[in-house]
Structure 1
Amino acid sequence: MSPQYLNLIVQGALYGLVLFSIVTWVLILAKAVQHARVGKQDKQFTQKFWSANSLDAATALGSDASPKSRLANVGFEALYVNDTDGSGSDLEHSWDRQELLERQLRQQIQKEYQSLESGLAVLASIGSTAPFVGLFGTVFGIINALGAIGKSGSASIEVVAGPIGEALIATGIGIAVAVPAVLAFNYYVRRLKVKAAELDNFATDFVNLAQKNGFRVTKATVRPSGKPVHVGAQPVGAAA
């Protein structure tokens, strides 16, 4: 193979590693922002949720971008009934409602998990392949260097050190790209497991609260005064 093609292969490997490095750091920063935002929003929603007077009152919190908020709203939709329709008032319908609630909560947890998991496969792929891409460039770089040494007719250290050293740069770059990708992957997988456990615990608490509430809630709207009004409930002071 001509030295020109060998140089193109080495340069292609180096450019590929540079691209891998850019993608890695973009994903690292994007996931850092995502987890920081999710953590803050979940903390705020959790405080509001547990400060509510009842499960019915918690329906007035509305929906925001936090995973726990979306999970709670999925649960509210599964439990929502109008107090005047009499549904869910016996054990048979309560069991059906419980089964529906648990199924929809599980599905929403999977959706949140997949959202937080996005990008991790790319980090894992870069971390596992970058060293081999660097080694690939090094092999062809050494072949090119040995060809140049053969043409010069000398194998002294002055002649060998320069070309071989340049060829090994690709391996060093490959390792430098792989290390941040592997460390970031392990870190965010750990964060993902912690967040999944938090959502599971919240879902369990939600089911327990729903059980105490007869596996049904009435939607609440918020008055200008900030007090919730439950749809379907009889107003205070109304005639019997």
Structure 2
Amino acid sequence: MTDTTSAAAGISQAASQTPVPGADIAGAASGAASAAANIAPAATDAASGGHEITSALIVDGTLWVLIAFSVATWALILIKGIQHLRIAHHNRIYSKKFWGAQDFQAAAALTDNKGPAARVADVGFTTLIEADGGTTTHDLEHTGDRQELLDRRLRQQMQKERGALESGLSILATIGSISPFVGLFGTVWGIMGALTNISKTGSASLEVVAGPIGEALIATAVGIAVAVPAVIGYNFFIRRNKVIWAALDDFAIDFVHLALKTSFLIKRPVTAPRANSAVAKKPAIKASHDELQAEGVQI
């Protein structure tokens, strides 16, 4: 009886020491689940970090674009300002010289002229000289009488001057129009990124909200700051162009009236002879005494 009990106890001890395969499988599955649970937050954090980087890059790119717009705006304002100062100076000087000339022919002989008014007058004088020389009647461009030809040439030159005055203003208009929207785009994108981060962190405290949204709102402020000088500069130069254009139009009308008084006739300007030009030949002097006696000349 004692031997039987000892044998049963040995069998039970051996059974408890024998490993069970099912238990190992369950432990391995539990470890894999734990590892997957640790990987998921890491992947979420990586995605959140990538989104933050993308949002920051877009906002920074928007700010750099607005800075480039600002540099272009102030450069154009400076260039156009210098251009208008020079135009006003040259037109004022030429107007004094033109209206101070004795007659229309003397005005045509003026030299060292600059500015839009001087170029318009030069085109008019050149047209009258060509018409007087009879060299402008061989093609369609030069058909018509002298007044029609003069009007057409003056109008063409005035259009060229108008194009030069309006160059660059389309850039100012474009910058003034789109800069607020570019800044608003950066702001909206920054706020989207800030709200996404708030939803993921689960915290809506002032520290979490104020920083990202405040940085995003800077883009809108910069966009407005860029647009205001561009719009002001565009309106100012448009007004100045209208004044200059009206003055050129009045000058062209007065030029045609003055040409009409002279019957659209003008002499070619007299050019001084060159210093190295050929000197008129003197009559040959017969220096030989025999030649003079042969011709019957008594000395």
Summarize deviations over 1:158-210 as a string: whole Å, max 9, x none: 32112111100000000000000001000000000110000000000000000
Select the residue among 33, 44, 56 that pairs with 2:82.
33
Q: Aligned partner of 1:58: which letter?
A: A
Q: Could you tell me which residue of structure 2 aligns to residue 11 of structure 1?
A: 60
* Conservation of the 8 A alpha-carbon contact between 1:60 and 1:222: no
TM-score (norm 2): 0.68
Select the residue among 208, 211, 214 that pairs with 1:165.
214
Query: Using a 3 Å threshold, how does the CA distance of structure 1 residues 158 and 203 change in structure 2: closer, same or farther?
Result: same
**Residue correspondence of structure 1 range 6-155 to structure 2 within 5 A:** 6-62=55-111, 64-80=113-129, 96-155=145-204
* Conservation of the 8 A alpha-carbon contact between 2:94 and 2:114: no
* Conservation of the 8 A alpha-carbon contact between 2:131 and 2:146: no
**Structure 1 runs of 4+ off > 6 angstroms?**
82-85
Identity fraction in percent = 54
Residue 150 (structure 1) shift: 2.5
* Conservation of the 8 A alpha-carbon contact between 1:63 and 1:69: no
Which ranges of structure 2 fall in alignment gaps of 5 or more residues? 1-49, 137-143, 274-299
Report 1 or 2 for greater relative contact order, CA contacts < 8 Å, sequence distance ≥ 6. Answer: 1
Which ranges of structure 1 fall in alignment gaps of 5 or more residues? 88-94, 225-240
Q: Could you tell me which residue of structure 1 aligns to residue 247 of structure 2?
A: 198
Of 179-188 and 153-162, more deviation after overlay is shown by 153-162
Q: Aligned partner of 1:21: which letter?
A: S
Higher CA-based Rg: 2
Q: Distance in 2 between matches of 1:216 and 1:9?
A: 68
Q: Aligned partner of 1:219: which letter?
A: R
Q: Distance in 2 between matches of 1:44 and 1:191?
A: 18
* Conservation of the 8 A alpha-carbon contact between 1:63 and 1:70: no
TM-score (norm 1): 0.85
Residue 63 (structure 1) shift: 5.1
Q: Distance in 1 between matches of 2:193 and 2:167?
A: 40
Is 1:156 paired with 2:156? no
Is 1:179 paired with 2:196? no
Tell me the C-alpha RMSD between the 2 structures.
Answer: 2.1
